[in-house]
Amino acid sequence: MQIVLHDGQDGCEFERQLEARLEMPTRLPRRTNRAHSTIPRILQIAAADGVPLAATMFVPADRAPAACALVACAMGVRRARYDGFARFLASNGMATLTFDYRGIGDSARVPARASTATLTEWAEQDIEGLVEWLARNYPDLPVLGIGHSIGGQLFGLVPSVHRFAALFLVGAQRGYAAYWRGFSRPLIAGFWRVLPAIIRIFGYLPMSVADCEAIPPRVAREWQSWGLHPDFRDASGRSLSDWWARFRGPLLSVSFEDDFFAARAAVAALVRTYASARTEHLHFSPSDFGRDTVGHSGFFVEGVCPALWDRVARWLLDSTITDVTCRDTFDRAAATASRIQRRA
């Protein structure tokens, strides 16, 4: 099932209506000082193939965690961009691990042009190794996956994706240009076409214009192959989409109207790719939060949409509940949301 907040619909009013009908609390308890309620630890964790990855673990300072979460970054983004959200999750009982992919940020051992990292390795080796690390260090806790942009795509290729109790995605999309409208469509299509030439000139994909790290060449070329087709394909051209259907848990995806890099239709396409999951897709306008812009990364900036942070934290914790009665309650929540949404 897909639940979408359409343009002009007030997200806060949507939540009030839904929660009033279910008599659920509007917000999680507010922390007055999240920095003091969490403990960050800088770590080096081995990927599944032994490659060392830089990571930061945020744990609650005042209680045992009820779950653990893994944050998969956007393309070329350092893990520090997610510190605020990771602290928030930890302050609400979720031990949260952030990391830099191989070839990126503090996990880069050589210059980008010399890196042999691939996009597939980010999923099959990096994320897989971190899931294994969480399972060893928190064996009794459910694992939650949080993916931003490409991070939300990569979960589909993780060998042990079944270990995730739930997935929460932000601006996670399919890169095929046909999912964009207006002038955005030729811009996206043109980017994919000129990408090989850019790599030949620089030896890597420069991303500083987007405030991101340089992208290793093999990562960039594989990324392009994903963007040129309506389905995910490997180097030989074979479709990989069936891999995403392996995840059967709950999945919540959020997108924003002013996010150039993640058009609503592109986000909806990725949600459909997780064909066996129990999915919800919430689409917001910046005005839902009293903002002029949210964009591709604004969700992760503390204070931009605090009510949505609270709802996401509640959803993540609720997703770890296995009691049938509780699960039925949240199934009713989804059904209620579907009834009260305004059609486009």
pTM of the shown model: 0.85
Q: Which residues of the chain have pLDDT under 70?
A: 1-36, 235, 322-344
> Distances from the Cα of 262 to the Cαs of 180, 212, 255, in angstroms?
8, 16, 7
Number of C-beta neighbours around residue 251 at 10 A: 26
Going by the DSSP 8-state scheme, the letter that residue 80 receives in this structure is: G
Residue whose C-alpha is closest to residue 295's, from 97, 77, 149: 149
| Cα→Cα distances 325→56, 75, 184, Å | 36, 39, 45
| DSSP output for 240-295 | -GGGGGG--SEEEEEEETT-TTS-HHHHHHHHHHSTTSEEEEEEE-GGGGT-S--T
Question: Tens of pLDDT along 240-271?
Answer: 889 999 999 999 999 999 999 999 999 999 99
Please name the helix (run of DSSP H) or strand (run of DSSP E) that holds residue 128, with its range, or none: helix 128-137
3-state secondary structure of 210: helix
Q: Are 163 and 131 in contact (CB under 8 A)?
A: yes
H-helix or E-strand spanning residue 83: helix 83-91
**Both structure tokens of 65:** 């965690």
**What's the pLDDT score for residue 9?**
41
DSSP lists the bridge partners of residue 45 as: 53
- ∠ CA 284-285-287, rounded to 5°: 130
pLDDT recorded at residue 116: 97
CA distance to 111, 128, 154, 269, 270, per residue, from 122 (Å): 17, 8, 7, 22, 18
20, burial (CB in 10 Å: exposed 0-12, middle 13-18, buried 19+)? exposed
Distances in Å between the Cα of 52 and the Cα atoms of 82, 96, 99, 166, 241 are 20, 19, 11, 26, 29
Q: Domain 11-340: give its CATH architecture.
A: 3-Layer(aba) Sandwich (3.40)
The DSSP secondary structure of 159-196, one letter per residue, reads TTGGGEEEEEEES-----GGGS-TTHHHHHHHHHHHHH
CB atoms within 10 A of CB 190: 11
Task: For residues 262 and 240, give the distance between their C-alpha atoms in angstroms, rounded to a whole number.
Answer: 21
285, amino acid identity: S
CB-based contacts of 286: which residues, under 8 Å, 6+ apart?
A: 256, 257, 258, 292, 293, 294
Looking at residue 35, its pLDDT comes to: 52
The pLDDT value recorded for residue 341 is: 43
Domain ranges in the chain? 11-340
